[in-house]
Amino acid sequence: MSPGLLLALAGVITVSPTGPVRSLGEAIRRSQPGDTIVVQPGVYTEPTVEVDRRLVILGVGRPVFDGEGARTVLRVTADSVTIRGLVVRNTGAMGSEDRAGILLVEVLGGLVEGNEVRDAAFGIYGQTVRGVRIVGNLVAGPGAGYSLSGNAIHCWSCQDVTVADNRVTGHRDGIYLEFSNQSSILRNEVVENLRYGLHFMRSDSSLYQGNAFLRNGAGIAVMYSRRVTILGNRFLDNRGSAAYALLLKEISDSRVEDNDFAGNTVGLYLENSNRNRITENRFRENGRAVRVLANAVGNEFVGNSFVRNSFDVTTNSRSATSRFDGNYWDQYRGYDLDRDGVGDVPFRPVRLFSLLVEQNDPALILLRSPFVDLLDVAERVFPVLTPAALADGRPLMAAPR
């Protein structure tokens, strides 16, 4: 039977504050799998709505479902449910219960699209789901402390989930994934969340592309994963004493490509992360553009540009082994006699002063002093203390376009 004929045969139930069906729960009880429930404008307060069959739930005129500060609002346990056009709000928070605006539990397929979730402990929560798409939603949390705030979009033990074109703000983490492989996080705007814009652990073979992470406590924390692609994102103004735009911790065989890092305390931080390629990124006006620890082995930095950073590269050891080749450094003072666009002498991006700061953080107060300028000159003339392994042997004379 064709999809068009199936749609024609499907029933339509209307929910309205003044109609014969006045609650979404009642409409679901009257429905058959494949039906469409159209919800008219109004404010609906009812016990947690259990969506236990395949339905399309469509809001017209932004109907509001209010949890009255006491419960999860919608709980989906059926495959292939569509929820579109609703305003879901006010779950309240309780330490012993993960309350969510929209909770999906052990489902295959489904679409949560074009909804507003406001003042919920967890906004949209996927628990052991597969093939679900979370698209074009606004998820705005209360901006309260950690104990009262969950995550805007939370995926636990999920497979093949797409999170795209959402705006999330005011939560503990904007987007959180754990044990969630083959996920695609695309074109989201993640703004002013308390801890991380995106936090994911043990989530292999995932793609993070075209997102904007702005003014979060920290940008992305990527942990204990393999084969991750981080492509074409913007990391802006993630600032604080422990803030970074992108943290890679125990990440291997991954790509970080064509991203913008600007105005962050630390742009990119690598710890115990191996065989990653960091290419064609732009590091501009960060405190520390790249911080790569000695236990990060076999990483390659190629075709990146470093402009107006306080420190282009810092490390905690002279034995660091990551490789820099063919990057642009605005601090490079070498020459190009054969005019091939590549400097004829290597550039050492790790400043001697940065090694001193590693041992004594308060020394950072001397950053703009003549003493530090003298150290830099001395190290350029006699480069004996900064890590030779981190030298760029082919520094570019002009920034890549």
CATH number of the domain where residue 303 is located = 2.160.20
**Does residue 331 lie in a domain region?**
yes
Sign for the CA dihedral angle at 355, 356, 362, 364 comes to negative
**Does residue 271 lie in a domain region?**
yes
**pLDDT at site 1:** 36
**Does residue 23 lie in a domain region?**
no
Cβ 116 vs Cβ 140: under 8 Å: yes
**Does residue 20 lie in a domain region?**
no
**Does residue 131 lie in a domain region?**
yes
**pLDDT at site 274:** 95
**Does residue 26 lie in a domain region?**
no
**Packing angle, helices 352-359 and 370-381, rounded to 10:** 120
Closest CA to 292 of 303, 281, 300, 284: 300
**Does residue 133 lie in a domain region?**
yes
**Does residue 180 lie in a domain region?**
yes
- Spatial neighbors of 20 by CB under 8 A, at least 6 apart, are none
State how many domains the chain has: 1
Cβ 318 vs Cβ 295: under 8 Å: no
Q: How many CA atoms lie within 13 A of 283 on its CB side?
A: 34
Q: Is 328 exposed, middle or buried (0-12, 13-18, 19+ CB in 10 A)?
A: buried
Enclosing domain of residue 335: 47-390
The rounded average pLDDT for each run of 10 residues, N- to C-terminus, in the chain (401 residues) is: 44 96 97 97 97 98 97 98 98 85 98 97 97 98 75 97 98 96 97 93 96 92 95 92 88 97 95 96 96 92 96 82 93 92 91 60 58 58 62 93 77
CA 31 to centroid of chain Cα atoms = 38
**pLDDT at site 387:** 66
Cα–Cα distance, 155 to 201 (Å, whole number): 11
SS3 30: helix
Q: What is the pTM of this model?
A: 0.90
User: Which pair of tokens denotes residue 48?
Assistant: 């947690």
**pLDDT at site 243:** 81
